[in-house]
Structure 1
Amino acid sequence: MPPALCAVCKTERALIKRPKNHQKLCKGCFIEIFEDEVHHTITSSQLFSRGERVAIGASGGKDSTVLASVLKTLNERHDYGVDLVLLSIDEGIKGYRDDSLETVKRNATQYDMELKIVGYDELYGWTMDQVVETIGKKGNCTYCGVFRRQALDRGAKMLGIKHVVTGHNADDVAETVLMNLLRGDLPRLSRSTSIVTGSDASEVKRSKPLKYAYEKEIVLYAHHKKLDYFTTECIYSPEAFRGSARSLVKNLERVRPSAILDVVRSGEDMARLVPGATPDACGCKGKAPPPPQSAADDENVGGCGSSNGRTVGGDMAAMEKQLRANEAAEAAGLETKVSVSRTEAQRPNSQKQQPEQQKTTGTRLPIITKQTLGNCEKCGYLTSQKLCQACMLLDGLNKNRPQITI
């Protein structure tokens, strides 16, 4: 049987079967399509403005390394006019972060980018090794996640930068959607599904150029581009709650490859239920131009989401609006009475619907209040509480810190 040809160029031998839609591509076409899809996400969502400095959250792993490589390529190819800088956070995990930072240093040389490294010990007086030693392995990812998010903002502020891009991919966003659904945390779901986070009150905004890119395709891109990245998993992460959500996402992907992007789009849809929230979905609203030749099956999806059998979004918000309108109409006595059909009128009295059951009973939906952002009383970081999460966690740690007596 002759080897299959690339579905796009029709000349080169197909070496890659895209995890996203099972399209068979040659190496060159896959790399070009991957870069074009990231470019589409950037331009349709208007992530960058000419002349701004942008910090890339670099950990040395596959996601941030691919992000740095793709942004450098696209910035030169399409003339974005942005100045790219690498920003790394040293959590203080021996045998893991110290090795990955060596990869970041090599990347800085390879991509000719400025590198800034900020450590937990410098910012908080604690390393993650010390945190785990104090609280144990359960729940330590909560501390690291809160500290890391704030450290990225503080590092960007040190560099005088107001925009940080991170390597969060479609798998990461789908996992976060499921985690927040399981927690019942709709406000956080709204923030996590946005491609851009941060308001006018925020000192630093963050964006996810790889939001619609599959993790498997990121690995394929790094492999075929021969990128230098660090592959070891964090030694403290196996206990994380995210691991359960990740397993669920992978199982869904095996059944239906488009499930990852379907979950992402569903999360964006649900985020519209939060009053005042403006989820930053891709500007094309799921209507990305199709690839030169798409797969024939129903699993084919565009660069920024599945458009098969779905609308541009907002269905749940429209449904809630209609329910609230029905509830208001009922309160005003304007509900529509349901007429009894002849068939029902002929039934025995015991089976007839009682008059009070004919009235429409409105279901009162919970009111979701919008958070009011202010500044932490201790460190000045943006928060909706008196103290930011990092300061509250640090207070608990400092109370348990062993006292050294001389």
Structure 2
Amino acid sequence: MPPTTCVRCQANKAVVKRPKNHHKLCRECFITVFEDEVHHTIISSKLFYPGEKVAIGASGGKDSTVLASVLKTLNERHKYELDLVLLSIDEGIKGYRDDSLETVKRNAVQYDMPLKIVGYDELYGWTMDQVVETIGKKGNCTYCGVFRRQALDRGAKTLGIKHVVTGHNADDVAETVLMNLLRGDLPRLSRSTSIVTGGSLNDVKRSKPLKYAYEKEIVLYAHHKKLDYFSTECIYSPEAFRGTARSLIKNLEKVRPSAILDIVRSGEDMARLTPDKGQGACACDEGEGMGGCGSANARMPGNELAQMEASTRDQPSDNGLETEITSNGTPKVNEDDVVKLPVRQRRSKEPGPVQLQTLGKCVKCGYMSSQAMCQACTLLENLNKNRPEISI
């Protein structure tokens, strides 16, 4: 059997089958298409302005390493005129973070970018090793996640930077969408699907240039570009609920390759219905080819139910035995069969207006918070109560 040729250049041998849409590409075309899609996301979402100083949240892992590499390439190719800096958080996990920071230090040299490292110990007086020793492994990811988010903002402020980019990919966003739906947390759904968060609500805004990039394609990009990254997972227990959502999404992806982007797009659509009117969807044209974020050509029709209704609408049915269910889930019944109830019994209680959170400043550290004390300070207060007394 002759080798498969690249569907883009029609010349070179295809070596990559894209998980997003199953297009078979050669190495050069895959790298180009991946970078073009990230560029499209950046331009269509207006993430940067010329001369902006941007901190890249660098952990040494595949996502942040690919993000740093792609931003450096696009910054030079498309003249973004960005001042890029690597910002790393040292959680204080021996055997994990200390090793990954060595990778970040090498990346700083390879990409010719300044590097700033901020540690939990200097910000909070605790390392994650000490936190786990105090509270155990159960729930430690909550502490780490809250501390890391605030540490990125505080680290950026020390550098005079008001924009932090993170390596969150399409898989991460899809997992968060599912988690918020399963928990019934629709207000948080808006923030999780937005490509830009913070901004007017905080001194430091964040954005996700890799929002529409599949995790598998990020790994393929790192492999074919021969990037230097750290691949060991955290030595402490992973977030169990996120792990469940991740497994579900991976199983869906096996059946329907576009499932990840379908979930992301659905999350964006639902976020627009929330009180704070979510935003941040990529402005893709449904008719574009292999450019854009790739979601237009990866999506499937998704109108199977409507097609089935159309094919069966004219078939005879026994109205006495069956109730027709329309595509919006509403039973279609004969009004003559409805028992008329008094108005007071038929009236349903109207839901009251949804109260939006009002962001203020934490009374202890000054960080943005909807409560008097931010979540990080609340967790720290709990930790400090349990800190063992040191006898002199």
1:266 corresponding residue in structure 2: 266
- Spell out, residue by residue over 1:146-173, the C-alpha distance to the aligned partner (whole angstroms, 9 max, x if none): 0000000000000000000000000000
The CA distance in 2 between the partners of 1:197 and 1:105, in whole Å, is 28
The CA distance in 2 between the partners of 1:122 and 1:240, in whole Å, is 29
Structure 2 counterpart of 1:381, from 360, 367, 377: 367
Gaps spanning 5+ residues in structure 2: where? Answer: 304-332
Q: How does 1:1-150 map to 2 (within 5 A)?
A: 1-150=1-150
Query: Which runs of at least 4 in structure 1 moved beyond 6 Å after TM superposition?
Result: 357-360
2:378 corresponding residue in structure 1: 392
The CA distance in 2 between the partners of 1:360 and 1:263, in whole Å, is 37
Matched, 1:368 2:368: no
Q: Normalising by the residue count of structure 1, what TM-score does the alignment of the two structures yield?
A: 0.85
Return the offset for 1:256: 0.6
2:329 corresponding residue in structure 1: none
- 2:362/2:373 contact within 8 Å kept: yes
| Root-mean-square deviation (Å) | 2.1
Return the offset for 1:214: 0.1
1:323 corresponding residue in structure 2: none
- 1:282/1:304 contact within 8 Å kept: no
The CA distance in 1 between the partners of 2:38 and 2:342, in whole Å, is 54
The CA distance in 2 between the partners of 1:121 and 1:221, in whole Å, is 35
SS in 1 for 2:115: strand
The CA distance in 2 between the partners of 1:160 and 1:128, in whole Å, is 27
1:314 corresponding residue in structure 2: none
Q: Which moved more, 1:271-280 or 1:146-155?
A: 271-280
- 2:187/2:276 contact within 8 Å kept: no
Cα distance change on mapping 1:282 and 1:98 into 2, 3 Å: same
Matched, 1:309 2:320: no
The CA distance in 2 between the partners of 1:237 and 1:6, in whole Å, is 42
Percent of aligned pairs sharing the same letter: 75
Matched, 1:356 2:347: no
- Spell out, residue by residue over 1:77-101, the C-alpha distance to the aligned partner (whole angstroms, 9 max, x if none): 0001111000000000000000000
Q: How does 1:96-245 map to 2 (within 5 A)?
A: 96-245=96-245
Return the offset for 1:354: 2.2
The CA distance in 2 between the partners of 1:403 and 1:120, in whole Å, is 20
Return the offset for 1:20: 0.4
- Spell out, residue by residue over 1:187-246, the C-alpha distance to the aligned partner (whole angstroms, 9 max, x if none): 111111100001313100000000000000000000000000000001114353211111
The CA distance in 2 between the partners of 1:389 and 1:237, in whole Å, is 21
- 2:213/2:293 contact within 8 Å kept: no
- 2:38/2:293 contact within 8 Å kept: no
Gaps spanning 5+ residues in structure 1: where? Answer: 293-300, 312-339, 346-351
- 1:168/1:208 contact within 8 Å kept: yes
SS in 2 for 1:277: coil
- 1:141/1:240 contact within 8 Å kept: no
- Spell out, residue by residue over 1:238-286, the C-alpha distance to the aligned partner (whole angstroms, 9 max, x if none): 35321111111111111111000111111111211221333211133x6
